[in-house]
Chains A and B, each alone.
Chain A
């Protein structure tokens, strides 16, 4: 009870870093560079999007968003996301489950293939679908004979979006599931749980935040994808134009205010995504801490 050595939590840590601390000017310069870079390359463009969008006033802004072509682009983008994201959710969980919990021939190859969409230019992935399903493609004549349209139609856009956004959920879950091991699942099985009960009661609760995180990123990319969709969509106004494609068309027609108005929607989506992502990350960290307490000691 001497009172002279009462340390607040954290004060000890600060004390230790004294010996490794850099001079004040180094700290200042580093922080300055980081903040300047952040302002010039991230904040400034974001601000530009919104000022340009509102340059002709709120009336023009609303008109640009309510234009039938814009409305149809919004609907199409939402529709594509509604189809592609749940499918990738299922594929991603299945792939992560297979990779994390089982040993099988070709496992490494599967992991590599999951990463493929990240390493291939989106334009190339779009072109692959044109080469397969386009009029001159492998399945083209057969599809035409049966009156099925894939390229320059909704199915093509959905296919390209699924391809590009495939890795997000799986990539997020594989390390998580590998780290958690399968002891809890085995415990559930021995207690008599069926496969579905094991998944629902033990696997899903322990991956839910990672899964949500993957889905949010997947959704952001599905709505914002430009390259692959651009190749397969055909840019038919009011028909096969997604939001990013609509922005490009308006911009090419020197309709800047409208282009930026539509772009501001995508920017808002990005901001909402970032907010959700931060929330989920905080939850994941909290859960991780709990887990560390559990396995620690």
Chain B
């Protein structure tokens, strides 16, 4: 029974023009075109969207949480990348 299920799609919605698409949830659909319809009918019932992306869930490549220290922690000590790292003398403006 399990392998008869329609494939799973992840749904991304742009809620207003000017914003990026954001993950809203998932739907099952037999194919890409139907996935768009299903995403529309499921996730934009309250006027939440101006654009939809759908992508087969099994096509998403994700980072592994087991590797998260290797992937993300090295950035933690690069504090000089943030503007607050720098001291600006009193009285200097527009910087």
Are A and B co-members of a single complex?
Answer: no
Give the A-binding residues of B (Cβ under 8 A).
Answer: none
Give the B-binding residues of A (Cβ under 8 A).
Answer: none
